[in-house]
Amino acid sequence: MELLTPGIGLMFWQAVIFLLLVLLLGKFAWRPILDSLRIREESIEEALRAADEAREEMARLQADNEKLLAKAREEREAMLKDAAKMASQLKEEAKEDAKKITAKMMEDARAGIEAEKEAALKEVKDQVAELSVEIAEKLIRKALGDEKAQKALVEEFLADKNLN
């Protein structure tokens, strides 16, 4: 029965060893374990704070990014409007230039046609005059082929001259 009931000396030494173990563990093990737990808890809290700050920073950056995108879209729209306006203006200027060039070409063509017409009329008049002179010469030669007709014509001219 001695195995079932421990002796007082054994219990005393077990209590002393237990207290020494508790003191040694308290001094050398629990304090470092508690310190490491406290440090770990602080590092977890710091990581959570950093994650919250990063999330807030990410939200700020995303908002800034959206603002920049909106501004870029506005600038793009403004640039497209300006480009369309410039294209329209260039198109209008090209039309005006084309109209001016066409008008000048038409005026030059009219002047050229008029000059050609005048030259043609002068040439026709010259040919008519030359032809008239040739016809008159042939008629006069035929009519004045004999001497009698020539004398009559000279007397007629002289009489006509004396009257004037």
Q: What is the pLDDT of residue 72?
A: 95
32 belongs to a structural domain? yes
Residue 12 has pLDDT above 60, yes or no: yes
Instruction: Give 54-111 pLDDT, tens digit per residue.
Output: 999 999 999 999 999 999 999 999 999 999 999 999 999 999 999 999 999 999 999 9
Q: What is the DSSP letter of 5?
A: S
Domain count, the chain: 1
Q: Band of the pLDDT at 6, cuts 50, 70, 90?
A: confident
Token readout for 66 is: 């959206």
Work out the pLDDT band at 30, boundaries 50, 70, 90.
Answer: confident
Q: Which of 104, 126, 123 is nearest to 115 (CA)?
A: 123
Indicate whether this model's pTM tops 0.85.
no
Which residue range is the domain that position 24 belongs to?
15-124
Q: For residue 131, is it within any domain? A: no
User: 54 with 60: CB under 8 angstroms?
Assistant: no
In a domain, 77, yes or no: yes
Distance CA 20, CA 147 (A): 184
Residue 2 main-chain phi, psi, to 5 deg = -65, -25
On whether residue 135 sits in a domain, the answer given is no
